[in-house]
A and B are shown apart, each in its own frame.
Chain A
């Protein structure tokens, strides 16, 4: 019996992964260029190539939300996007949320409401929460819960995350900030 792991078939000998591609994009307001294997995801480019490890890998399958970043202002799962797809785009990560050294109001609110425990899903929760306000989906508790449901928290700080988002929404959202 011959068997291989439960993964897609092996790449052919002329492995396209071996090819390098250069991607120029803006990360947290700074132009960056990444020369990488075509298989490199935005998530791995951020973490491994640009040293921005605030964006987390929880599944690498687009199912947990830990890698949520903003691409051209919209929330995106960085594990489901290739770095090469980001050419010419604008990417914001948790490291780019503060302004002039001051944390984003959402970051403060997460601390105040204890919206995390281990903290691993937190950058993704916060990036999602900031986008949620911009999307106008933080009007009710039900909306917040529904539209934050792509961000898993295994410590289950969910009620505190909702409280933090409501708090920021009440204060007028992040319009003053971003």
Chain B
């Protein structure tokens, strides 16, 4: 048996199925949920970066109107740390002792009848500290460092010999600052205990992980914990952890015996839910005179919190970006008294690509060869480390189509060649090879008595369009109109899916949904094949297709019946099937698993007198394998590109070098791109369905961001002749 062969809904740029809820204000984000009898909580955070609490006086706060409880390290029981995840150890449990590890660490939580009362009372908590001298940067001799934290350091060939054999070399140091994820939605946790049963509405990208964490921390079975995150006001990685404030809200709800709601403030979003950590990278490249790469050496050092993990192998991507015989990549993380970093859209690769692709541009200048030509000459036709063919790779097409659409061939070779009045105009480009990632996933698909179907999964839609593409996929595979399929997501009681992160959810969860549909169709076919009353009685499975809201004879659509009819005749209110997907293994397939590829071409205008940088247009071409919905996929890439513009020219979380306090923790001071900063963006998809993915899908949530910073920096160099190796590119670097 096979499913409908024409693809009326798969790939079509259909409108988001959750769109009507979102544009009418009806979509329930975690902070929108209220429970009867709920109390409100407000955090008190440390005002030193390192040291100890010597006294914590809650007397006044406890006497304030409406206050129900004040949680401190004196009141909170000893809690175990959450479990290990694929992103490393869980954050430390909150309020366990008197130690301060970073500025803005939670030191107390006030619970009161109203939000205003909790906030006012939080100001009455008096904290005395014995401050210590904090470690705040890489070069502090007291800092503890971790070499190769993720086991991804790599070497092949002999990089020193490679560099020695090179006709031209580049040796440069690049720095990237802390950036803060800053999703628009303030993170919120609403926790309610009923006996040993715990329900939590949480701003998470990973409901299953939060459930496991809370079960472990509070010593209850996982089945008695339910975590809901059906809608989330953005995350960009900030929702990939069970943060200390989540644990605190749950503890508070247990203490006061009522539901407790905690909504972070915007300044708290800078210290409590992660950030992209600052880093320093040194890249050495060597090439022969004919522009053939002979050596890549890429070292990175980035900042890490005192007791957390963070997946940031900046340099790892350089091992597989180009065909090159001699390569070394090495990453180091340095522990400091800073808030915990976390993945922020394209973790590690956003930063690592900026260094590598800037260095490639420098190499092109040194070789006097076109930057695009340099990349084409060193294109990795096979996976450079494994020597295997890629499961899909349309990077050359990305370059070709992008160059054509952008008009790259008309770009003058020399910097400072074009001006428009007082604006210097420059063009730059960068390539992207995003890594493959996938985790195991489950899903359930159920057909119901009304003839429609439901997809169910704990996986969630962070805004990528998961609701929509799963609905499309299920509708396609079951031969149903879109309106008859519903997706229920973001509920840990539903079959477990991985995080909305790593550009891996669509492939993992989509494959599980496809598997569930196949099993469901098999079960339905069993029902009808042996049923004399069915028009499909005795049919060969190969001759049956899913179409027209039911099962049909291939080539004879009049012969068949709807799911509703099948269920009704067998007296079943519904019939469901569980599906699963597991990540492919490259050795079994004889292929290197490919992530998305891409190319960005950027044009900037730099005010010669003022140093102002304006990004005037960007052309982006992405190979994302099979695109399930061109409208939502395009939005993903647009969002990524603009995130890249932010990284390139605006975003910079500034930490005071003596106190460790973040100095710009508001949207007024931490600049993100706004409407007026965003030029015309040209986004195109190329490529073929990926051969290693059941659906042919490669994720596109992150690839759009990677490479934008380098393309812009390279364009700034082309405009001005000034090479800026430190982000963000602000006017002071160009004056």
Residue ranges of A at the interface with B (Cβ–Cβ < 8 Å): 1-7, 9-11, 15, 17-18, 37, 39-40, 44, 47-48, 51-61, 63-64, 66, 93-95, 97-98, 103, 107-108, 110-112, 114, 116-123, 126, 144-146, 148-162
Least CB separation from B130: chain A residue: A1
**CA–CA, A1 and B125, complex, Å:** 14
Contact: A154 with B681, CB < 8 Å? no
8 Å CB interface, B631-647 against A: 631-632, 634-636, 638-639, 641-643
**In the assembled complex, which residues on chain B have CB atoms less than 8 Å from the CB atom of A120?**
29, 183-185, 233-234
* 13 residue pairs bridging A and B, Cβ less than 8 Å apart: A4-B125, A40-B116, A59-B667, A64-B266, A111-B19, A117-B635, A118-B233, A118-B235, A126-B23, A149-B674, A149-B676, A158-B638, A159-B638
| A-B complex: 6 closest residue pairs judged by Cβ atoms | A54-B25, A120-B233, A118-B463, A119-B22, A156-B642, A117-B463
Contact: B231 with A119, CB < 8 Å? yes
Contact: B266 with A58, CB < 8 Å? yes
Least CB separation from A6: chain B residue: B47
Contact: A119 with B47, CB < 8 Å? no
Contact: A98 with B115, CB < 8 Å? no
**In the assembled complex, which residues on chain A have CB atoms less than 8 Å from the CB atom of B672?**
152, 154
Selected contact of A64 from candidates B22, B126, B232, B667, CB within 8 Å: B667
**CA–CA, A151 and B235, complex, Å:** 18
Known: A4-B126, A10-B124, A94-B24. A59 touches B47 (CB 8 A): no
Least CB separation from B233: chain A residue: A120
**CA–CA, A149 and B21, complex, Å:** 24
Known: A4-B127, A58-B266, A111-B19. A154 touches B182 (CB 8 A): yes
Selected contact of B23 from candidates A110, A144, A162, CB within 8 Å: A110
**CA–CA, A64 and B463, complex, Å:** 18
Residue ranges of B at the interface with A (Cβ–Cβ < 8 Å): 15-16, 18-29, 31-32, 34, 44-45, 47-48, 64-65, 114-117, 120, 122-131, 182-186, 231-236, 263, 265-267, 462-465, 631-632, 634-636, 638-639, 641-643, 661, 666-668, 672-676, 678, 680-681
User: Contacts A94-B25, A111-B15, A156-B639 given; 19 further ones with Cβ under 8 A?
Assistant: A3-B47, A4-B123, A39-B116, A53-B31, A55-B25, A56-B29, A58-B186, A59-B266, A61-B668, A63-B666, A114-B19, A118-B463, A119-B18, A146-B675, A149-B676, A155-B184, A156-B641, A158-B638, A158-B673
Selected contact of A152 from candidates B21, B114, B674, CB within 8 Å: B674
**In the assembled complex, which residues on chain B have CB atoms less than 8 Å from the CB atom of A95?**
24-25
**In the assembled complex, which residues on chain B have CB atoms less than 8 Å from the CB atom of A57?**
31, 186, 263
Least CB separation from A55: chain B residue: B25
Contact: A111 with B676, CB < 8 Å? no
**In the assembled complex, which residues on chain A have CB atoms less than 8 Å from the CB atom of B184?**
56, 58, 64, 66, 118, 120-121, 152-155
Contact: A156 with B676, CB < 8 Å? no
**CA–CA, A161 and B47, complex, Å:** 40
Contact: A160 with B635, CB < 8 Å? yes
Selected contact of A15 from candidates B120, B236, B632, CB within 8 Å: B120
Min distance, Cβ B46 to any Cβ of chain A, angstroms: 8
Contact: B48 with A103, CB < 8 Å? no
Min distance, Cβ A125 to any Cβ of chain B, angstroms: 9
**CA–CA, A4 and B125, complex, Å:** 8
Contact: B186 with A111, CB < 8 Å? no
Min distance, Cβ B681 to any Cβ of chain A, angstroms: 6
Selected contact of B678 from candidates A53, A155, A156, CB within 8 Å: A156
Contact: A3 with B48, CB < 8 Å? yes
State the majority secondary structure of interface residues on A: loop
**In the assembled complex, which residues on chain A have CB atoms less than 8 Å from the CB atom of B643?**
156
**CA–CA, A63 and B266, complex, Å:** 10
Min distance, Cβ A62 to any Cβ of chain B, angstroms: 8
Least CB separation from A48: chain B residue: B115
**CA–CA, A121 and B674, complex, Å:** 12
Min distance, Cβ A149 to any Cβ of chain B, angstroms: 4
**In the assembled complex, which residues on chain A have CB atoms less than 8 Å from the CB atom of B130?**
1
**CA–CA, A110 and B29, complex, Å:** 19
Min distance, Cβ B718 to any Cβ of chain A, angstroms: 24
Contact: B680 with A159, CB < 8 Å? yes
Contact: A118 with B123, CB < 8 Å? no
Min distance, Cβ A12 to any Cβ of chain B, angstroms: 11
**In the assembled complex, which residues on chain A have CB atoms less than 8 Å from the CB atom of B182?**
154
Known: A10-B124, A61-B266, A157-B635. A4 touches B47 (CB 8 A): yes
Contact: A7 with B23, CB < 8 Å? no
Min distance, Cβ B21 to any Cβ of chain A, angstroms: 8
Contact: A1 with B128, CB < 8 Å? yes
**CA–CA, A118 and B22, complex, Å:** 8
Contact: B185 with A1, CB < 8 Å? no
**In the assembled complex, which residues on chain B have CB atoms less than 8 Å from the CB atom of A17?**
65, 116-117, 120
Contact: B667 with A98, CB < 8 Å? no
**In the assembled complex, which residues on chain A have CB atoms less than 8 Å from the CB atom of B115?**
44, 48
Contact: B122 with A5, CB < 8 Å? yes
**CA–CA, A63 and B22, complex, Å:** 21
Contact: B47 with A93, CB < 8 Å? no
Min distance, Cβ B656 to any Cβ of chain A, angstroms: 12
Contact: B24 with A103, CB < 8 Å? yes
Min distance, Cβ A42 to any Cβ of chain B, angstroms: 14
Selected contact of A145 from candidates B22, B45, B131, B676, CB within 8 Å: B676
Least CB separation from B670: chain A residue: A63
Least CB separation from B182: chain A residue: A154
**CA–CA, A69 and B129, complex, Å:** 43
Contact: B233 with A56, CB < 8 Å? yes
Known: A154-B184, A156-B642. A116 touches B23 (CB 8 A): yes
Known: A15-B120, A57-B31, A57-B263. A145 touches B16 (CB 8 A): no
Least CB separation from A127: chain B residue: B25
Min distance, Cβ A79 to any Cβ of chain B, angstroms: 10
Min distance, Cβ A110 to any Cβ of chain B, angstroms: 5
Selected contact of B45 from candidates A5, A54, A58, CB within 8 Å: A5
Contact: B25 with A53, CB < 8 Å? yes
Least CB separation from A144: chain B residue: B675
Contact: A93 with B25, CB < 8 Å? yes
Min distance, Cβ B626 to any Cβ of chain A, angstroms: 19
Least CB separation from B17: chain A residue: A111
Contact: B25 with A5, CB < 8 Å? no
Contact: B185 with A158, CB < 8 Å? no
**CA–CA, A48 and B21, complex, Å:** 20
Among A7, A119, A122, residue most surrounded by chain B Cβ atoms (within 10 Å):
A119
**In the assembled complex, which residues on chain A have CB atoms less than 8 Å from the CB atom of B27?**
119
**In the assembled complex, which residues on chain A have CB atoms less than 8 Å from the CB atom of B231?**
118-119
Contact: A3 with B129, CB < 8 Å? yes
**In the assembled complex, which residues on chain A have CB atoms less than 8 Å from the CB atom of B641?**
156
**In the assembled complex, which residues on chain A have CB atoms less than 8 Å from the CB atom of B19?**
110-111, 114, 116
**In the assembled complex, which residues on chain B have CB atoms less than 8 Å from the CB atom of A121?**
184, 233
**In the assembled complex, which residues on chain A have CB atoms less than 8 Å from the CB atom of B124?**
10
Min distance, Cβ A61 to any Cβ of chain B, angstroms: 6
**In the assembled complex, which residues on chain A have CB atoms less than 8 Å from the CB atom of B114?**
37
Contact: B22 with A53, CB < 8 Å? no
